[in-house]
Structure 1
Amino acid sequence: MAITAKSGPTVLLTGASGVVGQALLEQLGDCAVVCLTHRKPVCAHQVTTVRGDLTLPYFGLDPAAYGDLADRVDVVVHCAAVTGFGVDSNRTNDLNIRGTENVLAFARRAQAPLQHVSTAFVTRHNLARNGYGSARPEVYLGSKRLAEQAIANSGVAANIIRPSVVIGDSVTGRIAQFQGLHAIAGALLKDALPMLPLQPGTRIDFVPQDLVARVIASLVRAGKTGGEYWVTGGNAAPTAARTIELAMTLGASLGLELGMPRFVSHDMVDRLIRPVFIDALPKAQQRRFDDMLAMTALFDTAEPFTSTYHHVPGVAPLTTEDIEDAFTASMRHYARAKGLTRLSEAAA
């Protein structure tokens, strides 16, 4: 396996086809990047692809090939994870916990520092309740906590990066795969969101993918480990009411006639909305509702997230205006991709 010589370090990247992984590839142009992928090669300029399975010892590689790869790698960036709330718990734990343990074994063999992408929502401990239907956010969050614990116990030099919800590029809105927040805002843009189980003052914490990628890339180059970096809006995150206002303003600019959703409590969902309206829906629609309910529950706290990513060299903090502009760009990209605009591109 030949790796193209670059001025920066050689990086083993997992999850290269995901949202953060795709954005990160654009930030690692000076590095020799080896993407460990399970199914298909990564289509990026001057990137090497290795087929493997994170859940298997040696990634399922021949021991000689595994050793050769370890001898070449300087830094490991672990982005791969199951993030869906409706995924089987065995599959979630297999990749998120066992996969991380195998990545740690590789980093130890390579004597390479690890940049591990976790989630800011590991701080949410009050989600084990009835009312999310098919969605199980506590399974995902539990797996991420155990992965972090494995890193802490491993002795491997590492940084933990904890982004909140990741949206598209801050300028173009482009993203590898639409995420849960896109689905909620998308339902609003389709005028299919009559209610939202949130309080108007709740902060909706999200960050653009290029910020997360910039933080990781800077840590790769800095060579320092032992840190925990919260990549969040924090005190700059907009409220639910403001987020809805931004979506409504965008919808109007695209020629969409939208109704304002009603803010309701989770208790009202459990007592009235689910038994009367949701339980009668087709299973696919019930699952989408459950995912929305689980995601809004993640934001259901009075305390904003800690935000420390600006401590990374060369990374400046985003303002509330920056975050709101990124949200508008992300939702505009979603609307155009889904054919929701009623005005011409020139008019929009």
Structure 2
Amino acid sequence: MSENQKPAPTILLTGASGVVGQAVLARMTEHTVVCLTHNTPVPGHRTVRVRGDLTRPFFGLDRSSYQELADRIDVVVHCAAVTGFSIDAEQTHELNVRGTENVLAFARQAQAPLQHVSTAFVARRDLAVAGYGSARPEVYLDSKRVAEQAVLASGVPVNIVRPSVVIGNSVTGRISQFQGLHTIAGALLKNTLPMLPLEPASRIDFVPQDLVADVIAHLVRTGTTGGEYWVTGGRAAPTAGRIVELGLALGRSLGLSPDTPRFVSHDMVDRLIRPVFIDALPRAQRRRFDDMLAMTALFNAVEPFPSTYGHVPGVTPFSAQNLEDAFTASMRHYAQAKRLVRPSEVAA
């Protein structure tokens, strides 16, 4: 390193074992990354693990250890969050709100800027919430809105990063944990999706995990703060009809025999389908159906999300074709991981 070259900042990363956190960790090879976690993070170059609890004051550390950690850290990247729709409200609030408040207190103590990962779905304020059973997306969204309010009022130098649904790596499709969109598209490949409660023209907004990580990595490297970045497909996001076409084409290329699902309205589900077919299912199957209904409700919107990540230096926006290719890669990986086809067929 030359005399004029500054050392790479040391980063505190929360949620290192999650989908976004793992992708961020893979992008930070020149940094020392301290992962605050209960679980073992994905191994990375120059990675240090600190066992802590985001929901407790001082992360559950003694005062001396907390101060020592604060003295080491130059930048905080906060990815940890409850993202499931069936997690109870108290647990969701504890991590998403109280955890964020504790991260803010740490950033203030460390005099470090914060990269806060939220969600683009905070914009879905017209979400109808009736009829999802155990799936309560409004609990998750409310917690993320309250967390954002705390971040913006904190006085800490901060960027807010708002991705839409995060899928796997744009090239390999690999991901640490399959998400709700994988489950829906996977049901299409398995031919267990006879209906889809969506308008065919609804945009299915998703972004690959490496794109989100690129945005965060560039914000860390440039040291900029004070921005709100919508990492979304926006107007390039494919429609539900196009997603079904891609899924059918992939499934048939893999030797599967998926049928075209019928698009139905949420009103039809509530009036006709749920009373006759869904209420009689075992609890686990009802829960999966409710989760699917909640996920599709998030996509039933007229206006596309804003998409502003193209303003980050060095990050090129994904085109509609890029997003379609990333979706296909994710579903190929899903098909292989779930052993729907032989690996040789997936590779082809």
Deviation at 1:125, TM superposition (A): 1.2
Match of 1:259 in 2: 259
2:3 paired residue number: none
Could you say if the C-alpha distance between residues 41 and 213 of structure 1 is closer, same or farther in structure 2, counting changes exceeding 3 Å? closer
Q: Which position in structure 2 is the counterpart of 1:110?
A: 110
With over 3 angstroms needed to count, the CA separation of the structure-2 counterparts of 1:158 and 1:321, relative to structure 1, is same
Deviations 1:219-272 (A, max 9, x none): 011111110000000000000000010010100111001110000000000001
Alpha-carbon distance change, 86 to 220 in structure 1, aligned in 2, over 3 angstroms = same
In the alignment, which residue of structure 2 is the partner of 1:45? 45
Q: Can you give the 5+ residue segments of structure 1 that lack an aligned partner in the other structure?
A: 1-5
Contact map agreement 1:7 1:30 (CA 8 A) in 2: no
Tell me, yes or no, if the aligned pair for 2:15 and 2:37 is still in contact at 8 Å: yes
Residue 272 of structure 1 aligns with an amino acid whose one-letter code is: L
What's the TM-score, normalizing by structure 2?
Answer: 0.97
Q: Which whole-Å deviations, capped at 9, do the CAs of 1:69-88 have from their partners, x for residues lacking one?
A: 10110000000000000001
Q: Do the aligned residues in 1 keep the contact of 2:173 with 2:333 (CA within 8 Å)?
A: yes
Amino acid at match of 1:283: R
CA 1:19–1:347 in structure 2 vs 1: closer, same or farther (change >3 Å)? closer
Is the 2:29–2:44 contact (alpha carbons within 8 Å) kept by the matching residues of 1? no
C-alpha RMSD of matched pairs (Å): 1.2
Q: TM-score normalised to the size of structure 1?
A: 0.97
Aligned equivalents of 2:346, 2:237: Cα separation in 1: 30
- CA deviation vs aligned residue, 1:135-162 (integer Å, no higher than 9, x gap): 0000000000000000111111100000
**1:3 aligned partner:** none
Query: CA 1:157–1:342 in structure 2 vs 1: closer, same or farther (change >3 Å)?
Result: same
Q: Which moved more, 1:122-131 or 1:166-175?
A: 122-131
2:138 is the alignment partner of 1:134: no
- Following superposition, the deviation at residue 130 of structure 1 comes to 1.3
User: Helix, strand or coil for the counterpart of 1:307?
Assistant: coil
Provide the identity percentage.
73
One-letter amino acid of the counterpart of residue 293, structure 2:
L
> Quick check: 2:160–2:228 contact (8 Å CA) kept in 1?
yes
C-alpha offsets along residues 263-315 of structure 1, whole Å, 9 cap, x if unaligned? 00000000011111111111111111001000000011110000000100100
Aligned residue number for residue 289 of structure 2:
289
The unaligned stretches of length 5 or more in structure 2 are: 1-5
- In 2 relative to 1, CA 194–12 (structure 1 residues): closer, same or farther, beyond 3 Å? same
Counterparts of 1:13 and 1:346, CA distance in 2: 34
Counterpart CA distance in 2 for 1:213 and 1:17 is 14
Provide the C-alpha distance between the structure 2 equivalents of 1:133 and 1:193, rounded to a whole number of angstroms: 19
Aligned length: 343
Corresponding residue for 1:150? 150
Aligned mates of 2:41, 2:338 — CA distance in 1: 27
1:311 equivalent in structure 2: 311
The residue that corresponds to 1:235 in the other structure is: 235
Amino acid at match of 1:20: V
